[in-house]
Structure 1
Amino acid sequence: MNTQPRIYVAGHNGLVGSAIVRILRAQGHTDIVTRSHKELELTDQAQVREFFRTERIDQVYLAAAKVGGIHANNTYPADFIYDNMMVQANVVHEARVNGVQKLLFLGSSCIYPRMAPQPIKEEYLMSGMLEPTNEPYAMAKIAGIKLCESYNRQYGTDYRSVMPTNLYGPGDNYHPENSHVIPALMRRFHEARVSNAPEVVIWGSGKPMREFLYVDDMAAACVHVMNLDHDTYAKHTDPMHSHINVGTGQDVTIADLARLVGDTVGYRGRIAFDTSKPDGTPRKLLDVSKLKQLGWQASTPLQEGLKRAYAAFVELMEAQQNRAAA
């Protein structure tokens, strides 16, 4: 008799979703349900309703989201707030209607105020103004947290939320304009090395500080939090601040990060900073003490994670070149 839970990973082709699938399979889970964007449009309530009605899901990892860096958030604010709110509302609601008791919602550290005290504790949520460059995305993610909390209060579900810091690793988006900072830097330095460019220009002053978490560590944290018994999780949270920060507890300036990425790629040219471009939030370091109390902490150092991420990037570039040549 199969006693394994039937687990739906929403967004399994994305950075975090693919890592969650890797972790679950490594732990021996075989009843994992996935759907590509073409197979299931999560912004369409009718499609999501039919999916949950027919698939009999036990657990949901809600990793599906529209994500991007400062440029993408500034350029497509309506897409970021609409798509994310629709996905969250449809999945959480239909999960509850169809008897799913356990769900893990993945948010983002941008939910916190731009000038939040450092390191950022979970209770700082909605205590100040958000960073303007990604406010629509942040508002959607805050709504997702409150959606889970509200369904727990009204229906007695066990829907949890984790707030990751900046993520990177295999499966990342390397678009030259719409990607996050590490994959954007990695691609820029790689192309500069290949073309022998004398200089790489980085957006902003390089002074902002950021925390970075290797995506497989994030996935391991997600599975850990999902599998905590209800009483243990409830002991470290409260109904109005039920989310858990996930990070390393350490940060680095963008300038130092750029140098690390350049060294990883093997670029030997100059690094310049374009101060006409926005910096975003001055600092975002998460307080991860709750997660440590719950028995988990990150294990991949930044330099090691960058090496793994770059190896995955090179493999992806080579595969794309081979397909183009075929």
Structure 2
Amino acid sequence: MAPAGGPVSDAPLLDRSAVTYVAGHRGLVGSALWRHFEAEGFTQLVGRSSAELDLRDRDAVFAFFDEVRPAQVVLAAAKVGGIMANATHPVDFLSDNLRIQTNVMDAALAQRSHRLLFLGSSCIYPRLAPQPIREDALLTGPLEATNDAYAIAKIAGIIGVQAVRRQHGLPWISAMPTNLYGPGDNFSPTGSHVLPAMIRRYDEALAAGDDVVTNWGTGTPRREFLHVDDLAAACLHLLEQYDAPEQVNVGTGVDHTIAEIAGFVAEAVGFEGETRWDTTKPDGTPQKRLDVGLLTGSGWTPRTGLREGIASTVEWYRAHVGDLRELG
């Protein structure tokens, strides 16, 4: 569905010595980007915490861009949450994300930031999109009702990137990750996504000596998960190699049932009790697996297997249980 792009600058796509702003650098995705970019030789990385810079504040964002003048921007900042958070606070997810995206993109455009990568989510695609989901499935059907407000905000970001390409000729791009997990995740009991929520639930059950863990839904929906360090590597690859208006799916191309994933978590934690399912709670989208042919065709593939990644995330969780991100 992506429209053809206008003329794009013939300057080099990425300069590792230029000022590079990572918006949301303390979050799950942003912190992984920071680690990876630093390891890959970026010498002028810039970040601000939400306490230092409220990206919903337009004047503050423009003042920051006037001061820093980033040549490159990775827009990883967003208000995020699981099914319950999205379903109960849709206004917050819509309003906050629209303001964050618009302010950062407008300020980057005012500075003529040469390269911008907008990170969205696979929830932009229709609830019943053909599997695996191709990039051209965008806007072809109704969204999943439990997170449609968040999805609409992310779709607006994609269109914003395409509009800048058409009107101003800047080589901005968008990437749509599948479900993410890893160090730095939100393990809040009320605000987290399914995998970190499971890690916390099973680990607490083990510590308490409980025999049963109860998860939401039926356990039958299928989900794809990507380790956040793999996402960071994919983002750098795209910034160096990709220049087109169409958003790029980022994932593994492999999915599992929620019940299977619960089994992987129980195994990694060491929980040997019973898993039950609360079928009065929503399942969300029945299946969501991305077609990653565009990305792999450009020469990139993930490195971290799901069992390995869950085990390392459990280790990280246990080492940081006293200072976890508690976002409701």
**Under a length normalisation based on structure 2, what TM-score does the superposition of the two structures give?**
0.93
Q: Which residue of 2 aligns with 1:166?
A: 179
Matches within 5 A, 1:235-246: 239=245, 242-246=246-250
Where 2:188 maps in the other structure, the secondary structure is coil
Q: Which residue of 2 aligns with 1:254?
A: 258
Pairing partner for 1:189 from 202, 216, 236: 202
Pairing partner for 2:81 from 64, 68, 82: 68
1:286 alignment partner AA? L
Pairing partner for 2:270 from 262, 266, 280: 266
Where 1:28 maps in the other structure, the secondary structure is coil
Structure 2: distance between partners of 1:56 and 1:76:
34
Q: Deviations over 1:91-124 (max 9, x none)?
A: 0011011110100000000000000000000000
Q: Deviations over 1:246-280 (max 9, x none)?
A: 00010000000001100100001100001110000
Structure 1 residues 3 and 178, CA gap change in structure 2 (3 angstroms) = closer
Pairing partner for 1:78 from 76, 91, 102: 91
8 Å Cα contact 1:233/1:294 also seen in 2? no
Structure 1 residues 43 and 271, CA gap change in structure 2 (3 angstroms) = same
Pairing partner for 1:305 from 306, 309, 317: 309
Superposed CA RMSD: 1.1
Q: Which residue of 2 aligns with 1:323?
A: none
2:311 alignment partner AA? K
Structure 2: distance between partners of 1:86 and 1:177:
24
2:36 alignment partner AA? I
Where 1:233 maps in the other structure, the secondary structure is coil
Structure 2: distance between partners of 1:104 and 1:47:
21
Q: Which runs of 5+ in 2 are unaligned?
A: 1-14
1:217 alignment partner AA? D
Shift, 1:54, TM fit: 1.2
Where 2:320 maps in the other structure, the secondary structure is helix
Q: Which runs of 5+ in 1 are unaligned?
A: 321-326
8 Å Cα contact 1:262/1:268 also seen in 2? yes
Deviating 4+ runs (over 4 angstroms): none
Structure 1: distance between partners of 2:19 and 2:261:
40
Structure 2: distance between partners of 1:169 and 1:154:
37
Asked if 1:288 corresponds to 2:292, the answer is yes
2:76 alignment partner AA? A
8 Å Cα contact 1:73/1:134 also seen in 2? yes
1:20 alignment partner AA? L
Structure 2: distance between partners of 1:122 and 1:318:
40
Structure 1: distance between partners of 2:71 and 2:101:
17
Structure 2: distance between partners of 1:93 and 1:318:
38
1:100 alignment partner AA? S
